[in-house]
């Protein structure tokens, strides 16, 4: 009889590995290693809190993704958020306030959530939310930013609050980055990295992996370049097609396997860096870990969604709190059904089966 997959044990082990890798990556930085040591203790306590809730019938994921704004200054080619009309050129109405987000962070801490990835839009446009996050040092906040708005004020804020970790998006070298994100973005990122290195501040980079930049962003040349500027974390985000026209950019099954094995090798060769893949190896994790299995997404209006690539919601955080969102009908149906366990090639299983997700939200 096949043993049932233990998502709690899998995600806890993943958290422990990330923290262990981060401790190793920051050994030469006293200020950073002191924070990571304290954070390691906090994650152990958080794991115990989640296990307690698990025993009571509530599965609390260790991760959240929070899109704290719908506003963005860039028009990146193939952006899933703009295609889904979740990102605009100006701040839409009815966005959650700074106080709303602080309330969410407080409840997340109480539930034992260890990581909240701040995204957007461009999250650095919400300075009040970033400052609220700084106060919750039991939680690590990777901030996924295009880097344009990193200023002296932000350099100072990141230095004083080590639980805030800027993760700057880069697509490879200059040609690939400027082609997708806009002319001059690459030079701004390099300038930011130089200042972070000079100041002894930790930062990371996120890379959207497509069939076009696959070889470049996994090369030693690219990784060594980032390492030389002081990058401590590289988060590979597999491209999710936002329309049938862009499916050719999604990785093939063979490329997904190559990405996994390459990351294993990078972890061996670059011991002072952390490497993470998102959504990661779904085969080893018993399927997709969205919809509350390992994480879920809160949009800028408070809607609880399975993930940023699947913008469907039947619950708002402001009505139910995090506990209620975790227990939403949509999440329960997805967790108990076969959709998340579906064996698929490339992209996102929830995108591929979006008609079924929409039917669940509609109550069909």
Q: Give the per-residue pLDDT at 360.
A: 82
In the chain the domains, ranked by start, together with CATH numbers, are 7-361 (3.20.20.70)
> Looking at residue 173, what is its pLDDT?
93
| pLDDT score for 310 | 82
User: Is the peptide bond preceding residue 279 cis, with omega within 30 degrees of 0?
Assistant: yes
Mean pLDDT of 347-354: 71
Per-residue pLDDT band for 20 (boundaries 50, 70, 90) equals confident
- pLDDT score for 86: 54
Q: What is the mean pLDDT of residues 269-283?
A: 77
CA distance 150 to 169: 13
Question: What are the pLDDT digits (tens) for 38-95?
Answer: 988 999 999 999 999 999 999 999 999 999 998 775 555 555 554 555 555 556 678 9
The stretches of the chain forming alpha helices (DSSP H) are 7-25, 30-55, 80-83, 98-111, 127-134, 152-160, 174-181, 185-199, 214-217, 220-228, 253-269, 317-326, 329-336, 349-352, 354-361
What is the C-alpha to C-alpha distance for residues 228 and 48, in angstroms, rounded to an integer? Answer: 38
Mean pLDDT of 284-302: 83
The mean pLDDT value for 214-240 works out to 93
Give the pLDDT confidence score for residue 291 in this predicted structure: 79
Mean pLDDT along residues 105-122:
95
Coil, strand or helix: which one is 121? coil
Mean pLDDT value of segment 14-24: 77
Per-residue model confidence (pLDDT) at position 358: 78
Look at 357 and 348; give whichever has higher pLDDT: 357
| Least reliable range by pLDDT among 46-50, 155-159, 254-258 | 254-258
pLDDT, one tens digit per residue, over 183-207 is 999 999 999 999 999 988 889 999 9
Whether the CB-CB separation of 263 and 232 falls below 8 Å is answered with no
Q: In this structure, are strands 204-209 and 304-305 parallel, antiparallel, or unpaired?
A: unpaired
What pLDDT score does 241 carry? 73
Query: Of 262, 263, 239, whose CA–CA distance to 252 is shortest?
Result: 239
How does the average pLDDT of the chain come out, rounded? 85
Q: Which of 19, 66, 21 lies closest to 43 in space, CA to CA?
A: 19
251 vs 287, residue with greater confidence: 251
Question: In residues, how long is the chain?
Answer: 364
Residue 38 preceded by cis peptide, ω within 30: no
Mean local confidence (pLDDT), 137-156: 95
Q: What percent of the chain lies above the pLDDT cut of 90?
A: 53
Residues 245-255: pLDDT tens digits? Answer: 677 888 888 99
- Residue 292 — very low, low, confident or very high, per pLDDT cuts 50/70/90? confident
Q: Confidence band (pLDDT; 50, 70, 90) for 359?
A: confident
First-to-last alpha carbon distance for the chain, in angstroms, is 33
Residue 157: name the closest of 203, 104, 120 by CA. 203
Give per-residue pLDDT as tens, 307-337: 887 888 999 999 999 999 999 998 888 888 7
Please say if the pLDDT value at position 154 is more than 50. yes
Confidence of residue 2 (pLDDT cuts 50, 70, 90): very low
Percent residues over pLDDT 70 in the chain: 84
Of 80-89, 141-150, 223-232, the one with minimum mean pLDDT is 80-89
Query: What average pLDDT does this structure show over 238-261?
Result: 82
* Residue at token pair 């203790």: 41
What is residue 213's predicted lDDT score, i.e. its pLDDT? 93
């Amino acid at each position: 009889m096949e043993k049932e997959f233990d998502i709690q044990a899998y995600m806890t082990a993943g958290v422990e590995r990330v923290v262990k890798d981060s401790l190793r990556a920051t050994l030469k930085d006293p200020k950073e290693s002191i924070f990571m040591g304290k954070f390691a203790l906090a994650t152990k306590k958080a794991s115990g809190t989640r296990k307690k809730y698990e025993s009571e019938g509530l599965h609390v994921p260790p991760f959240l993704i929070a899109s704290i704004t719908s506003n963005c200054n860039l028009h990146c080619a193939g952006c899933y958020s703009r295609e889904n009309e979740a990102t605009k050129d100006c701040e839409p109405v009815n966005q959650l306030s700074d106080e709303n987000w602080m309330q969410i962070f407080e409840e997340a801490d109480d539930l034992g959530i260890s990581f909240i990835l701040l995204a957007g839009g461009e999250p650095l446009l919400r300075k009040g939310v970033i400052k609220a996050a700084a106060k919750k040092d039991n939680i690590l906040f990777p901030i996924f930013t295009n880097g344009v708005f990193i200023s002296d004020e932000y350099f100072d804020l990141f230095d004083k609050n080590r639980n805030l970790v800027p993760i700057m998006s880069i697509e490879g070298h200059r040609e690939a980055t400027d082609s997708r994100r806009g002319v001059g973005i690459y030079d701004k990122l390099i300038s930011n990295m130089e200042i972070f290195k000079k100041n002894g501040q930790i930062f990371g980079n996120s890379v959207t992996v497509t069939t076009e930049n696959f070889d470049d962003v996994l090369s030693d040349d690219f990784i060594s370049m980032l390492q030389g500027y002081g990058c401590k974390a590289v988060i590979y985000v597999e491209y999710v097609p936002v329309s049938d026209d862009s499916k050719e950019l999604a990785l093939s099954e063979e490329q997904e396997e190559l990405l996994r094995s390459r990351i294993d090798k990078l972890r061996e060769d670059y011991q002072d860096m952390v490497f993470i893949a998102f959504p990661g190896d779904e085969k080893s994790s018993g399927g997709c870990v969205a919809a509350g299995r390992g994480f879920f997404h809160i949009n800028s209006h408070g809607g609880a969604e399975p993930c940023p690539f699947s913008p469907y919601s039947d619950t708002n955080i402001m009505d139910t709190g995090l506990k209620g969102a975790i227990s939403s009908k949509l999440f329960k149906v997805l967790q108990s059904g076969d959709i998340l366990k579906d064996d698929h090639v490339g992209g996102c299983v929830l995108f591929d089966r979006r008609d079924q997700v929409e039917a669940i939200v509609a109550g069909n």
